[in-house]
Structure 1
Amino acid sequence: MRMGVFLIAAAFEGQEPARVLGEALQAVEAAEEAGFDDVWIAEHHFMSYGVCPSAVAFAAMALGRTRRIGVGTAVSVLSTRHPVALAEEAAMLHHLSGGRFTLGVGRGGPWVDLEVFGTGLPRFERGFAESLDVLCSALSRDRIGAEGEFFSFREVAMVPPARMTPVVACTSAETTRLAADRGLPMLLGMHVGDEEKAAAVAAYEAAGGPRARHVAAAVGQVADTTGEAVQTLTKAMPRWLEPGLAGYVPVDGRARPSRDIGRYVDFLTGTHPVGDADHCVATIERTRAATGIEHLILMVEGAGESSRTLENIRRLGAEVLPRLSSRRARASG
């Protein structure tokens, strides 16, 4: 089983984005020292929910600051990027890091990003499959050309060429089918529990997808007692989520989705490995058994302070990771 850290670069009330980004890099270094397999960074635009606007640029910095740990994007928003340009950047990081980089991509949402970056609502509504196909071609061939609705260009050489398989964030049945059709692993979010994740894996395989190394995100918080861990997140996370989720501004006149923050935090703390070490280990093992997913990435920033994030990473590495059955078997083998 692979265990990673999931960084959103979340800005809690009063925190400066530049400082948050610097502290996120410190978290990457702490994750490597703590024994995690990889670290993944989210990408958001124009909001405090996450203040990293380029997951690829952050990944480059993280790879340069580390020597062993894998680094992935969770995710680079494909609806606002040219897929060939993204493939070039991914290929460069792949070669410069000795293969430690993983590109995760997603469709994104109908947000104002589409207006600002000029790709427009059609790229979100019907262009994701074409974008994904161009990206996959650029990451698997030495030369690429395109003749489609959104991308049409003469054949060019991919320099440098690379052979990489992207991971796809799947939050809908349509995207799950797209990933299955192309044999691409899924990235499943922390907003769904084990039952929904297991259903997505079943739908993927029913659509003809191969057995793949899917990735699942979850909140991870360890403390001396489960009550203490839950209380920490229940107190802190609304200060991030309330203003952060308000940053999702639709590109058109549709209503912005709303969420009951209290109920959402209760769901996160009740579903994911939030508790003492015994509880965290049992929850991770339960998720693995229920979903068949062997790669979990933990969102560790929920306490809202850099010092507490670093402590959380270190404690997870010392008290939880060595006790997971699959990792014990790997170590003994």
Structure 2
Amino acid sequence: MATAGQGRGPASPRRRPYGAARDAGRRCRGGHGVPRWRVDTAMIKRFHVLYVGQVELENIGLHGTPADARRYSNERLSEPFFAARDVAQLMDELGYYALWTAEHHFQHEGYECFPNLIQLSLWLATQTRRLKLGCAFNVVPMWHPIRLAEDYAMADIVTDGRVIMGVGRGYHSREVETFGAPVIDQAANRELFEEQIDLLLKCFNEESFSHHGKRYDCPPPVDYRGYQLTEITCVPRPKHLPVEIWMPIASSKSIDYMASKNFKAMVTLNGETILDNVVKAYRDACAKYGRPKQLGEDMIWGAGLYLADTPAEAKRRVEPSHDERYKWFAPFGFVRYADAEGRTWGTPGAPARVPTLTDGIAQKAWFCGPPSHVIEGIKSIEAKYPALEDFMIHWAEGLPAKEFKEQLRWFARDVMPAFGTR
């Protein structure tokens, strides 16, 4: 039986038996105008949450504290660990599939405060029973790939496969460049990342191996106990092979690379047109490499949402958190919307501004309203991709933990029963 964590941080809420709330939700069909959907026709069957590790931000919204003006104490910057624990325990009870977290460094601003996802996931696994813990993503250029492989292998073994591997190239210059790796030079970043992945996969899949590339020489030609090294063995290797590896879809080049490695794809908060483009591009790229997939197969689709009795009330309550998110993320290029002519925002002729929640709702990147309204919105996307099985809820930056947990309870009770189950 999982126990609450020790040490600093607020006490965990009293927990109910695993699945009790989820099963109660399955019995509920009448609340808040929820229709009697045919569950057996649904394809989405696993529900995830993305928590990037923000502190409980104050004075949020478009006209609140500027993102770059935020600076928090070490005590406050430690709060997200315990927020992750409490949300993970609730998700475990309610029947969610996985909590995903994001690796970042040096963020005194308080938006993304998890520097080590495998270490965090190991701890969260001790605080939960069945919930999977996803890495979205381990920023490989800031790691030595052998160290990353060893750490993941240990986590895979001791949690019996509950930690999900995810890899990315990074985008914060403050982070990646400080760790001594390139990111401003995108070609150099991509070259480094691809060599690192080659080495990582050798660690996972080969009983012994050698690797001699531009950045890594493993093993070096040195004497060891009277003989010269020619191969090394990663100890331990993961228990569950092949390792399930996820990557974010960021560009056409990343899609082709992911397909070549048979990596699974995560796409979050994209407008409907761009989502459609990348889902089809991923399917086509997989077919190119002899791995035919149906639309939506091996993909997680993520969106923002907020439940309330009316769309207007939902929009009013979540809008400050939505705007806080884009105050931080829009300058990094994370506005993946298209205009009426299909042009991506920020490209010539298309909008270049920070999006509003009204934009997000129109783009079907955000769903706001009663459960029936949210179900209808999710199903409108699900219907286009017959093999899509995974949906992710984004925890909007600025939304208090207590309020987000109430959203998770409501979603589990009145939205999840309209879909398949894991």
Distance change in 2, residues 1:199/1:68 (3 Å): same
Deviation at 1:204, TM superposition (A): 2.1
Deviation at 1:156, TM superposition (A): 1.6
Q: 1:157 aligns with which of 233, 243, 246?
A: 233
Q: 2:132 aligns with which of 47, 70, 87?
A: 70
In structure 2, C-alpha distance between the alignment counterparts of 1:313 and 1:42, rounded to whole Å: 20
The answer to whether the 8 A contact 1:167-1:184 is kept is: yes
Correspondence 1:200-211 to 2 at 5 A: 200-207=278-285, 208-209=288-289, 210=291, 211=293
The Cα offsets for residues 243-272 of structure 1, whole Å up to 9 and x where unpaired, read as: x34896xxxxxxxxx9743x2533334423
The aligned counterpart of 2:307 is: 222
The aligned counterpart of 2:6 is: none
In structure 1, C-alpha distance between the alignment counterparts of 2:267 and 2:315, rounded to whole Å: 23
Distance change in 2, residues 1:134/1:198 (3 Å): farther
Give ranges in structure 2 of 5+ residues lacking alignment: 1-44, 60-71, 220-230, 333-350
The TM-score with structure 2 as length reference comes to: 0.69
Deviation at 1:110, TM superposition (A): 5.5
In structure 1, C-alpha distance between the alignment counterparts of 2:210 and 2:128, rounded to whole Å: 35
The aligned counterpart of 2:380 is: 286
Correspondence 1:10-159 to 2 at 5 A: 10-11=54-55, 12-13=57-58, 16-47=76-107, 48-109=110-171, 111-121=173-183, 123-154=188-219, 155-159=231-235
The aligned counterpart of 1:308 is: 403
The answer to whether the 8 A contact 2:118-2:151 is kept is: yes
The answer to whether the 8 A contact 1:300-1:313 is kept is: no
The answer to whether the 8 A contact 2:145-2:196 is kept is: yes
In structure 2, C-alpha distance between the alignment counterparts of 1:126 and 1:149, rounded to whole Å: 9
> Quick one: higher RCO (CA 8 Å, sep 6+), 1 or 2?
2
Deviation at 1:167, TM superposition (A): 0.8
The Cα offsets for residues 171-212 of structure 1, whole Å up to 9 and x where unpaired, read as: 10001000111111111122x123322322221232225324
The aligned counterpart of 2:394 is: 299
Deviation at 1:8, TM superposition (A): 1.3
The answer to whether the 8 A contact 1:168-1:185 is kept is: yes
Distance change in 2, residues 1:153/1:239 (3 Å): same
Q: Which amino acid aligns with 2:399?
A: G
Q: 2:412 aligns with which of 317, 328, 331?
A: 317
* Range with greater deviation from structure 2 (73-82 or 219-228): 219-228
- 1:267 maps onto 2:359 in alignment: yes
Q: Secondary structure at the match of 1:217?
A: strand
- Asked which structure has the greater CA Rg, the reply is 2
Distance change in 2, residues 1:259/1:234 (3 Å): farther
Off by >4 Å, runs of 4+ in structure 1: none
The aligned counterpart of 1:213 is: 298
* Range with greater deviation from structure 2 (37-46 or 196-205): 196-205
Q: Which amino acid aligns with 1:174?
A: K
Q: Figure out how many residues of one structure are paired with residues of the other and give that number.
A: 317
The answer to whether the 8 A contact 1:110-1:124 is kept is: no
Deviation at 1:29, TM superposition (A): 1.0
Correspondence 1:162-241 to 2 at 5 A: 162=238, 163=241, 164-190=243-269, 192-207=270-285, 208-209=288-289, 210=291, 211=293, 212-241=297-326
The answer to whether the 8 A contact 1:4-1:296 is kept is: yes
Distance change in 2, residues 1:137/1:285 (3 Å): farther
The answer to whether the 8 A contact 1:13-1:239 is kept is: no
Distance change in 2, residues 1:171/1:199 (3 Å): same
* Range with greater deviation from structure 2 (284-293 or 274-283): 284-293
Distance change in 2, residues 1:67/1:110 (3 Å): closer
The answer to whether the 8 A contact 1:220-1:273 is kept is: yes
Deviation at 1:71, TM superposition (A): 1.0
Deviation at 1:234, TM superposition (A): 0.9
The answer to whether the 8 A contact 1:216-1:297 is kept is: yes
Q: Which amino acid aligns with 2:316?
A: Q
In structure 2, C-alpha distance between the alignment counterparts of 1:45 and 1:247, rounded to whole Å: 18
In structure 2, C-alpha distance between the alignment counterparts of 1:35 and 1:92, rounded to whole Å: 26
Choose between structure 1 and 2: higher helix proportion. 1
